[in-house]
Amino acid sequence: KAGVTQTPRYLIKTRGQQVTLSCSPISGHRSVSWYQQTPGQGLQFLFEYFSETQRNKGNFPGRFSGRQFSNSRSEMNVSTLELGDSALYLCASSPPGRGQGALLNTEAFFGQGTRLTVV
Amino acid sequence: TQLLEQSPQFLSIQEGENLTVYCNSSSVFSSLQWYRQEPGEGPVLLVTVVTGGEVKKLKRLTFQFGDARKDSSLHITAAQPGDTGLYLCAGRGYGQNFVFGPGTRLSVLP
């Protein structure tokens, strides 16, 4: 079974530009979540999608947005890039939950991440 | 807001030594996961624990979930250089998103 695939792996953008990152989840996984990882802040939750609906959102400005398609693939977009947006962006997919259904997804499987550098 | 704390933050040991990493919270989690991450890569899931008091073993790694489902520990026996990496614990409350601890950076010297 193929793992979570993120593209591109590396990206260099100029301050003020926008960027779109892509994530293909593991086949059969309908939940996709996004994280920003920096040395100072660790792994910070951005948002989570399930069946094309945003289920949870982290504490990030509106410049960060995302969406999920009917095939469960997801994209996240960052507009008006700032130097502080330089980070490793990670996508994770989760299988259907056990016990009480989809709301109890118990595991996250991560992609290799996209390293974004803003100059 | 659910928060996870990990200790120690950094650990440097010699090959063959044992070590324990701790993950603590004031919140109850429906499940708790441990991941290992290498530089520039995504975290790799090691184990999931869901039952209070549960103990799981993965070769030289032993994971324990606290009885109250608020804390967990990871014990490595006879550490090897291949165990080097960032160890992250993550928890998920009922119907909520995953929360990650800040990580423990382990270095095992040959």
Tell me: the pLDDT tens digits for A47-62?
Answer: 999 989 998 899 999 9
Q: Beta partners for A114?
A: A89
In Å, how far are A6, A7, A14 from A76, measured between CA atoms? 11, 11, 18
Q: How many other CB atoms sit within 10 Å of the CB of residue A97?
A: 17
Is some CB atom of chain A closer than 8 A to the CB atom of B93?
Answer: no
Which ranges of chain A have pLDDT less than 50?
A: 100-103
Q: Chain A residue closest to B36 (CA)?
A: A110
pLDDT, position A100: 47
Average pLDDT over every residue of B2-19: 94
Give the burial string for B23-56 (b: 16+ CB within 10 Å, else e): bbbeeebbbbbbbbbeeebbbebbbbbbeeebee
Is some CB atom of chain B closer than 8 A to the CB atom of A111?
Answer: yes
Is some CB atom of chain B closer than 8 A to the CB atom of A89?
Answer: no
pLDDT for residue B37 is more than 80: yes
Is some CB atom of chain B closer than 8 A to the CB atom of A85?
Answer: no
**CA gap A36, A49 in Å, rounded:** 16
Is some CB atom of chain A closer than 8 A to the CB atom of B38?
Answer: no
pLDDT, position A101: 46
Which of B44, B88, B92 lies closest to A43 in CB terms?
Answer: B88
Average pLDDT over every residue of B25-45: 91
**CA gap B23, B34 in Å, rounded:** 9
pLDDT, position A102: 45
pLDDT, position B27: 87
Is some CB atom of chain A closer than 8 A to the CB atom of B68?
Answer: no
pLDDT, position B1: 63
Average pLDDT over every residue of B58-77: 95
**CA gap B31, B11 in Å, rounded:** 26
**CA gap B106, B76 in Å, rounded:** 11
Which of B43, B48, B102 lies closest to A110 in CB terms?
Answer: B43
A113 contacts: CB under 8 Å, gap ≥ 6: A6, A9, A37, A88, A89, A90, A91, B40, B41, B42
Chain A residues in contact with B43 by the CB 8 A cut-off are 43, 90, 110
Average pLDDT over every residue of B55-73: 95
- Band of pLDDT at residue B94, cut at 50, 70 and 90: low
Distance from CA of A110 to the nearest CA of B (A): 6
